[in-house]
Amino acid sequence: MKLVFADAAYWIALVNPNDQWFEAAVAAYEELGPDAHLVTTEEVLTEVLNNFSRDGRRIREKAVEQVWTILNADDVTVHGQTHDSFLAGLQRYELRPRHSPTLSPRQRCTAPSSSGRSGG
């Protein structure tokens, strides 16, 4: 099984077919295949919802539906947010000047190993 961290750019692109990264996100999903298990965090899902907060009702509803789908998916683990995970994310953000919003099966999972919650 391949563990792959899915960031907000990935989920945002899947919600919005007009997103510049939509095709890359779909291609990454297809490339990963059935043995992939996605890992994400509550912080990431909050970022996804925040991204659509000023958009119209329809796209916001689609984002909420996507987050519920992620939370209930058997092939996705969502790690809960803690103060420590927030601080770790802040430190990673501070050290990384530019973030590539594409999802690659070669990316290693950097989510915390505790406070995990699987969907389904």
Task: Yes or no: say if 4 and 32 are a contact pair by the CB < 8 Å rule.
Answer: yes
Q: What is the pLDDT of residues 34-63, one digit of tens each?
A: 889 999 999 999 999 999 999 999 999 999
Residue 6, classified by CB atoms within 10 Å of its CB into exposed (0-12), middle (13-18) or buried (19+), is buried
**Torsion sign, CA atoms 46, 48, 71, 68:** positive
Give me the count of residues in the chain.
Answer: 120
Whole-structure pTM value? 0.73
pLDDT above 70 covers what percent of the chain? 80
- The domain defined by 2-118 folds into Rossmann fold (3.40.50)
- CA of residue 76 relative to chain centroid, distance: 10
